[in-house]
Each structure stands twice: as C-alpha cells, then as structure tokens.
Structure 1
Amino acid sequence: MMNVLSRSIETEKAYAKRGREICVRVSNLYGLGPHEPLPPELAVRYLIDQKPSVSKSTWRQNKAALKFHLEELACGSRDDIRARELQGALEILSNEPQTGAMRRGTRTSAIKQKGCGRQDFVKIIRFLRANMDHYRWAKSLGVLLGATYLTGLRPCEWGQAYLEEREDGVVLVVRNAKFGEHRAGQMFRRLHLSPDQPIVANAVRALLSHIQERPGGLAFSEWLRRVSLFMTRAGRSILGRRKRYPSIYSFRHQFAADAKASGVPLEELAALMGHATDATATFHYARRAQGTAGIHVRASSVDVAGIRRKLRAHPSSRRARAVRI
C-alpha cells in the first residue's frame, strides 16, 4: 500500500512540475512578463497545436500534466473570473482526444540529433535556397538556421531579440527564455558580433527583418511552429533515411560545440547560451569533438561575471575532470 501511495505522490509531483513548465514555456513564447497571468486557454491551445508533432504517449502525459496543474490552480483560486477561465480551459482540454498525434513523435530525443555538422548544414541551406519558390517556409527556415548557427540563440528567443549599433560594434540583445524558470542569470544577455565577420551581423539583420515581415502576419509563435514542422519534413527529404535528424534546436547545439572547439571558457559559453551556470552547456549540449573551431560572437563581460561556476566548486569530481578532456 505504501509503495502505491508513494508512486502516486511522485506522479503528482512530476505532473505538477511538467504542467508548470508548459505554462512557463507558453508565457515565454508570447512574451509575458514574470508577473503577468497566463490565460489558461492559451496554454491549452498551445498544447493542442503541438499534437501533430508529438507521439501519442507524449500527448497523454502533457495533457495529464497540464490538466493536473490547472486543477490545482482552480482549487486555489479565490477570483471567480479566474476560476471560470480555468474551468473553461479544463473542459476544452478534457474533451480533446489524442487523435492527430503521431505514432512516433518528431520531437523526442530518439530521433533528434545534437548538433548539425557542416556537411549537413550545407546540404540543407543549398536545398532551401534552390527551393524558395517551391516551398512557402523555405526562406523562413533558411534565415532562421543561418542566424541560429552563428549565434546559438534558442529559436523562441528571436521573437524579442534586437540589434544595438554602438561605437564599439554591433550588439545582439536577447531576452533569456529561461529567466522565468530561474535557469538564466540575467533577464537579458548581450552578444557582441565580430566586426571582422560582417556575415554574422548580416545574417542576424536578415532574420530580424524577416520576422517583422513574416508571411501572413502570423504571430511569432505560430510562425515558428510552422517553420519547425517544415524543418522536420525537409530534413527527411534532404538527408535521406537515418536514425536521427537535426531540428532547428540542433543548430544551437552546434554553436555550443563550435564554441568548445574554439576554446571559449566555460563561463563565457554559459553567458553566450543564456545559462545560469557553466555546467549546463558542458553536460547537456554537443561535445567539443563535434565542433569546428571559429565562432564570431563574444559575451558581455557583465554577463560572464554573473555566471555561477559550479564546475570550479568541485575540481576533484568526475564531471569537473571530464571537462578538461
């Protein structure tokens, strides 16, 4: 009996955590501040929109987690209007079947590769350039991949990124997507683009301009969702049959690998990636061996100073030793 009860409590904890993470993700996508309430129906609609690209089992787990989280909020709400919003969102979510989810999802780690080598990158870019008139999202994907490959931003962060022209060069200002989850040291980070490599600034300008004039006047989150789905289909067409395929996020992984191969210090890499500590990119991103030396952005010294150095706190640990290999 105790084992069953223990499993139930652990399951509820897991549901509560995942439900909160889904809501934080939606808030970040729509640019809501840390104290701005998220409309519960918006979270439900977001989850439903993701169904075509996730497996049935992932859909069931996400649905159960978000439902659990919204039920907790409804039970604790003293605002009648808020309670009705939560109940309305719960009704929509409860009535949504798993029909439309994939037998095997496109966003699982089983088929997503960390990083995208130069050979695959060139194949993809060449295909997109040659087919801009044939595929609606080819240009969008091309400019997004190019800028992400060179700067390492999370795809969702491009919606609020902007450039500052300074006397000492061009700076890309990025709102950290993980700041609301306390997984980024600062609300914003600043990437100094190399003046010796104008291709970086040009790629960023091309993407930011394209986002402002995105096709159909879609909201940024919807634009990104459609471009991501196109990436899934295009990758299979371009790269042929294989076990793993790159996603847009893979190009962020590749940036991390290139930075490691270039000898970028761990705390600067964390600042470039928008992490709170120097451990995240080290253990959860592509390895140095997968990278190619040569990146053309540098982190703000203020951002670097704010990074928590977890690895240095335990120099004798296995993980700390692994970093030096």
Structure 2
Amino acid sequence: MYKDSFDGTRRASSLIARIGAEERVGDSLSPSTIIGYVRKIVQIAVRASINSLSRLPPETVVRDIENRVNSKKITQATARLEKSAALFWIAEQAQGIMDSGSLDLWRYEAAYSDILAVKVNELPKSSKNTSSEKAKAFSDEAVKLLIEAANVSRSEHLFNALLFTRVNLYVGLRPVEWLDASFVNYLHSNPLGDPIHLCDGSIKSSPALVVRNAKHSAIRGNGEMRTILLDKLDQSKIKHVQEWLKFINKIKSPELMRLSEGEIRKKVYDSMQRAIRNVLNEADWQGEKPTIYSTRHQAVANARADGLTQKEIAALFGHSSTNTARRHYGKKNAGYSGRSMRPAPESIWAVRSTVAVRPKPPRAEPPGLG
C-alpha cells in the first residue's frame, strides 16, 4: 500500500491506499496546507480555461502536471508541491465519488497513478530568476552587522528581524511554525512514562518549546508535534524566546491563521527580510546573502557540529526522514559547536525512517592474497 522513496519518506502507492489512510482525505493536513493545495488546483483550472473546479476532469490535472514538468521551466520543489496538490485533490474527489457510488472511480485511479509516475529529478533545483543567491548559513558576522545596525536604528522591522534571528538560531524552526509554538515546563519521564525524580524528590523538568510540525501529514514529519529542550539557554536567551513568542501572539489572529504558508511568510516576515537585506547591502556584503530561512540552515549546521545523531537532528527539526537534513540543509563545516538544543525523547522515537545508505563497492584484495 505504501512505498519508500529515496529520502526515507513513505507515500501511498495507490489511490485506494491514500483514501484508506484517513477517515477523510486531508484530515492530517493543516488548514494552511489545504488552502495552498486548493490554490494550485485553481491555477490548473485557470490554465485550462475551466471556471469551476467541479468541472475539472482528472485527465486535465494529469496533463497540466506533465506539461509543467516537461517544459523544465519550474524547479523540483515547485513540481513536488504541485504533484502533492494534485494527488490530494484527486484523492478528495475520488472519496466523494466512492460515497456516491459513481462508476467514474477508475478515471481517478488512473490519474493518481499517472501523477505518481511523473519524475521531477531532471528539473533544476533552483530558479535562475532569483535576484540574489540565498545562503544556507547565517554567520556570526551577519548577526554582528544586525546588532550594530539595530543599535543606531529605530526601525521596528530591524529589531524584530534581529530578535527572530537570535531566537531561531537557537532552535531552527520553520518560520511559519512559530505561530503554533508554545513555551512550557517539560517534565522528564522514563520509557515507561514514570516521572524522573531528582535527589530532593522533585520531578526533573526543563524549559522547552512545543512546536506543531508544519510538514506534518500521514507520511511527512516526525509526528504532529515536537518538543525542543532549552536547558542549554541561560535566562537572557530564554527571555529572547519569550519576547519573540509574545510578539507572535500579538499579531496572531484567526484571519492570519487561515492564510496559506506562503501568505503568512509574506505578511509576517517580508518586512524583516527587507530589513536584513538592507543592512547587508549597506555593509557591502559579498557573496550569498543570509535570509530569514538561513537561520534554520544554520541551526542544522550547528547541530551537526555538535555531533548530534541523524535521528536527533530529524527529531529536532521536524523531519520524518533522517536524510532530509543531510541532503538539503546547512553543512557541518558551517556550524558552531556548543549552541544546539536537544529534542525530547518522544520526538526522537517519532522519527520513523532511517538513512538510505548506498552499498559500498566490494573491497579489492591486496596483491598476492588471491
């Protein structure tokens, strides 16, 4: 029913398996993810000059995906997103057809299989239309420039950018995940669930951040939530985290939470990103410019430099696959040691997949030992 991909994730290998995985298709997806998927389907309908999704045939969806990929004008990430949206929509429509007893289910089964078969590996990994290269690191030098600029500037956007940068370098959340994060007092327990007591009889506890995984679904993310222990942060840094959460809770609203992830990023973070870029441009920064998202890459690099296992890294950053950080995130040589946090044990246990290791070629026998 499911098949493993190279990155260790699991995908439903048939439409029936996808429908059977949940009571209703999309139950495990966040509202913002579903909104984003629907927008992609609307775009397909517009390209096909169809003014109603109820009249959008599954064959048209397949043809649009194939044409987009064959044109090689989109990136691998965009293609994967559009495939995911198409698979979600087809499964949702097919579930309705099953409930109604229609005989058209075979068309959706064929479309689901055809979209799964579309390969995106030959597409470019990044767009050539970007105005500047984006760094997969946020160095101390860049942080220092932000601090110096904030000391002489009254810009609220720059202050917020600096606060976010400092905080996210500790924990490496996806920026949108801060809207579903909370500060808690984590109570430690053993594998049987019994509390761990200290010598004075009190229960061992730690300041911690509980985060709802933005990539959580039936086959992605290390569970719905993850817990990041903040034992290594002193009180001043804990205060940074609390101040940032206070800012997020101030701007958080039902209207904001109904937006797609892309729209949330623009509304919450675009002004901070511009402030960072302005500081770097003013300093005549050479090479790739760090971005808001670079803080997450840097946090992964720090975790590598600290020697965390691949499973700990997956748990810390909300990946189901231990391959994700290895393939897509900051490198160990860009990391700073002594700065990474640790995931709670249950977040590590929730990491379902392991590293896919390519077999090594047979070792040649030394001469004369044949």
Q: Distance in 2 between matches of 1:297 and 1:71?
A: 38
How far did 1:75 drift?
7.1
Higher mean displacement: 33-42 or 289-298: 33-42
Q: Distance in 2 between matches of 1:35 and 1:308?
A: 18
Cα–Cα, structure 1 residues 231 and 246, in superposed 2: closer, same or farther, change >3 Å?
farther
Cα–Cα, structure 1 residues 37 and 191, in superposed 2: closer, same or farther, change >3 Å?
closer
User: Which residue in the other structure is 2:6 paired with?
Assistant: none
For residue 314 of structure 1, the aligned residue among 338, 346, 357 is 357
Contact map agreement 2:302 2:334 (CA 8 A) in 1 = yes
Q: How does 1:57-68 map to 2 (within 5 A)?
A: 65=82
TM-score, normalised via structure 1 length: 0.63
For residue 111 of structure 1, the aligned residue among 133, 142, 158 is 133
Q: Distance in 1 between matches of 2:358 and 2:225?
A: 29
User: Which residue in the other structure is 2:344 paired with?
Assistant: 300
Contact map agreement 1:193 1:296 (CA 8 A) in 2 = no
Aligned to 1:171, the other structure's residue is in SS state: strand
2:196 is the counterpart of 1:173: no
Q: Distance in 2 between matches of 1:195 and 1:65?
A: 40
Contact map agreement 2:176 2:264 (CA 8 A) in 1 = no
For residue 239 of structure 1, the aligned residue among 280, 292, 305 is 280
Q: Distance in 2 between matches of 1:33 and 1:157?
A: 19
Cα–Cα, structure 1 residues 75 and 158, in superposed 2: closer, same or farther, change >3 Å?
closer
For residue 228 of structure 1, the aligned residue among 262, 269, 278 is 269
Does 1 or 2 have the higher relative contact order (CA < 8 Å, sep 6+)?
Answer: 2
How high is the sequence identity, in percent, across the aligned residues? 23
Q: Distance in 2 between matches of 1:158 and 1:184?
A: 16
How far did 1:114 drift?
0.3
For residue 123 of structure 1, the aligned residue among 145, 149, 159 is 145
Q: Which runs of 5+ in 2 are unaligned?
A: 1-25, 44-72, 100-126, 187-203, 362-370
How far did 1:310 drift?
2.5
Contact map agreement 1:231 1:247 (CA 8 A) in 2 = no
How far did 1:189 drift?
0.6
Q: How does 1:25-174 map to 2 (within 5 A)?
A: 34=28, 43-44=38-39, 65=82, 69=86, 104-105=129-130, 111-131=133-153, 133=154, 135-166=155-186, 168-174=205-211
Q: Distance in 2 between matches of 1:164 and 1:175?
A: 13
How far did 1:156 drift?
0.8
User: Which residue in the other structure is 2:224 paired with?
Assistant: 187
Q: CA RMSD in A?
A: 4.1
Which stretches of structure 1, 4 residues or more, deviate above 6 A after TM superposition? 35-39, 215-218
TM-score, normalised via structure 2 length: 0.56
How far did 1:137 drift?
2.4
C-alpha offsets along residues 63-99 of structure 1, whole Å, 9 cap, x if unaligned?
A: x959x949868975669xxxxxxxxxxxxxxxxxxxx
Q: Distance in 2 between matches of 1:250 and 1:257?
A: 10
How far did 1:152 drift?
0.9
Q: Distance in 2 between matches of 1:232 and 1:224?
A: 10
Partner AA of 1:237 in structure 2: N
Q: Distance in 2 between matches of 1:33 and 1:201?
A: 34
Bigger CA radius of gyration: 2
2:284 is the counterpart of 1:284: no
Contact map agreement 1:183 1:276 (CA 8 A) in 2 = yes
2:256 is the counterpart of 1:256: no
Contact map agreement 2:211 2:225 (CA 8 A) in 1 = yes
How far did 1:261 drift?
0.9
How far did 1:36 drift?
7.3
How far did 1:276 drift?
1.0
How far did 1:187 drift?
0.9
How far did 1:255 drift?
0.5
Contact map agreement 1:258 1:293 (CA 8 A) in 2 = yes
Q: Which runs of 5+ in 1 are unaligned?
A: 1-31, 49-56, 80-101, 319-325
Q: How many residues align?
A: 251
How far did 1:119 drift?
0.5
Q: Distance in 2 between matches of 1:178 and 1:238?
A: 31
Larger helix proportion of the pair = 1
2:266 is the counterpart of 1:271: no
Cα–Cα, structure 1 residues 247 and 280, in superposed 2: closer, same or farther, change >3 Å?
same
Contact map agreement 1:153 1:252 (CA 8 A) in 2 = yes
